[in-house]
Amino acid sequence: MPKIIQHPVPDCVKPYFRAAGIKIKKYATATAFENDLKKFLARNHVLHLGTCRGRAPRVTPLEYRLNGLAFFVLSEGGGKFANLKENKRISFGIAEPYDSQADFFSNKGVQAWGTAAVYSLRNEPAKFRTALAMMNEAKGCRKIEIKNLLPQFHYRIIKITPDKIKYGNPREGVFQVTWVKK
């Protein structure tokens, strides 16, 4: 059962929120928070995946599909796979553009930590097909079919299972809320 941690707004910041007309939400349940989080995730589609091998971190922007709070990425290659072979622990970020000079409180984004599983079309076709079906179940997702994938590429799906997600979106009333999978 997931839990949420709501960090209190520091007293020195509260007057600025009031002056900007921002009312910070208090979530009664993890499910209520997840609903707001999923709205943010649904209107975005690119995450920046952080992987690491040895002491060499790598960040890759990737398009994702969401199924519940599981993230799916279809990719044909790159150094991230060598990193994931050695270390399945990942982090990622998702942010929307904003102009802090126009509206300081319009920043919104997610920072997350979790584990990745990689399914290869060549080496694990059944697991790949299952993950592809989960990607295609994502709301608003154009259907991706195996017959449309070019045979010369080594396609893999990365399934990301978050353990912890931190979300902030002050303009919409979300101040530093952390979701933790138990």
User: Any residues with CB less than 8 A from the CB of 7 and at least 6 apart, and which?
Assistant: 175, 176, 177, 178
Instruction: Count the Cβ atoms, other than its own, within 10 Å of residue 17.
Output: 16
Structure tokens at 176: 């530093």
Q: Are 95 and 108 in contact (CB under 8 A)?
A: yes
Cβ burial of 116 (10 Å; 0-12, 13-18, 19+) is: buried
Residue type, 12: C
How far separated are the first and last CA of the chain, in Å rounded? 6
Write the CATH number of the domain with boundaries 3-180: 2.30.110.10
- Please state the pTM of the whole predicted model: 0.91
- Residue 146 is predicted with a pLDDT of 65
Distance (Å, rounded) from C-alpha 51 to C-alpha 59?
A: 6
- Give the per-residue pLDDT at 147: 65
Query: Which residue ranges in the chain fall short of pLDDT 50?
Result: none
Residue among 164, 167, 166, 168 nearest 182 (CA): 164
The pLDDT of residue 150 is 65
What tokens were used for 97? 């553009």
Asked if residue 161 lies in contact with residue 112, where contact means CB atoms within 8 angstroms, the answer is no
pLDDT, residue 157, reads 92
pLDDT value of residue 159: 96
Residue among 22, 14, 11, 8 nearest 108 (CA): 22
What pLDDT is recorded for position 142?
Answer: 65
The predicted structure's pLDDT at residue 62 = 95
φ, ψ for residue 119, nearest 5 deg: -120, 120
Q: Report the mean per-residue pLDDT for the chain.
A: 91
**Around Cβ 74, how many Cβ atoms within 10 Å?**
19
